[in-house]
A and B are shown apart, each in its own frame.
Chain A
Amino acid sequence: MKAIELSRALGWELVCGDGEREIAGGVYCCDLLSIVMGRAPADCLWVTVMGNVNAAAVATLCDAACVVVAERMPVDDETLAGAKKGDVTVFKSEKPVFETALAAAKLLGLA
């Protein structure tokens, strides 16, 4: 399933990007960037509360299909610029990390 299809089904707000990538790497949750960097699978949907510019860089470099910022945490302009430059799609979810990830996993047939 494409990230944008998932976001529409779950009511996430599209913050930047087109969401056209397939979620082929499952759902991954973590806020510590070095752990994400080393362990997030390529093409995953990454759920985090970290909306800073470094999160955008990590998403780009570990090749996440998209980032979902849970609990509607703020995503500043610098982060958005970084995400756009790295061609990363960012969504916002109103729900906490677990609920966001669980809903995504269910739709992806992973839970």
Chain B
Amino acid sequence: MNQSGLHYHYDVPGDDFSQAGAASSAVKQILKQLGLDPQVVRNMSIALYEGEINMVIHAGGGVIDVDIDDEKITAVLTDHGPGIENVELAMQDGWSTATEQVRGLGFGAGMGLPNMKKYSDDLKIDTEVGVGTTVTITVNL
């Protein structure tokens, strides 16, 4: 890998659960092919999937940009959904605003953001109600 690193871009369609996880799966495949530590691959895959699912469930989709350099993997998830009213509350285990339909699919356990925090080395959430949310996940190599 050179200093300029690698960049990947993904569009995440909203409300399409059959496609949910496609970007995370593609990123996992790339990280595996790069021969990165399996724990690093798993950590980024889990954190990214949770972010991707949140975009599908809550925000009508969005975009994901992934950068890989010699020191870290950074994923920036950008949506123009409703934003998060109370980030502190959303970070608590078990807190969720998912619908019954979403819960029926096995989601909405209120573990998304806590999982993202647990499996990343750094998690940054910039959100504004009515404007959207940008989540930055960093996993160190």
Residues of A bordering B, CB below 8 Å:
31-35, 37-38, 42, 50, 52-55, 57-58, 60-63, 78, 85-86
Please name the residue on chain A nearest to B106 by beta carbon. Answer: A33
C-beta contact mask, B8-22 vs A, less than 8 Å → 1, else 0?
000000000110110
Chain A residues within an 8 Å CB radius of B28: 60-61
Chain B residues within an 8 Å CB radius of A57: 20-21, 24-25, 49
Task: Decide if B50 is an interface residue (CB 8 Å cutoff).
Answer: yes
Interface centre among A32, A53, A61, A85 (most CB of B within 10 A): A61
Distance in Å from the Cβ of B49 to the closest Cβ of chain A?
A: 5
Residues of B in contact (CB 8 Å), total 27
Chain A residues within an 8 Å CB radius of B24: 57, 61
Please name the residue on chain B nearest to A55 by beta carbon. Answer: B106
The reply to whether A63 and B25 contact each other, CB–CB distance below 8 Å, is no
A-B CB proximity, top 9 nearest: A57-B21, A34-B111, A33-B106, A38-B115, A34-B109, A32-B109, A61-B45, A61-B49, A50-B106
**Dominant SS among interface residues on chain A:** helix
Bound-state CA distance A33–B46 (Å) is 11
Residues of B bordering A, CB below 8 Å:
17-18, 20-21, 24-25, 28, 38, 41-42, 45-46, 49-50, 53, 105-112, 114-115, 118-119
The reply to whether A62 and B106 contact each other, CB–CB distance below 8 Å, is no
Bound-state CA distance A61–B29 (Å) is 10
With contact pairs A31-B106, A52-B105 given, residues A42 and B42 touching in the complex (Cβ less than 8 Å): yes
The reply to whether B111 and A53 contact each other, CB–CB distance below 8 Å, is no
Bound-state CA distance A35–B107 (Å) is 9
The reply to whether A58 and B49 contact each other, CB–CB distance below 8 Å, is yes
Bound-state CA distance A99–B50 (Å) is 30
Bound-state CA distance A98–B45 (Å) is 28
Chain A residues within an 8 Å CB radius of B46: 37-38, 61-62
The reply to whether B111 and A54 contact each other, CB–CB distance below 8 Å, is no
The reply to whether B106 and A54 contact each other, CB–CB distance below 8 Å, is yes
Interface centre among A42, A50, A52, A54 (most CB of B within 10 A): A54
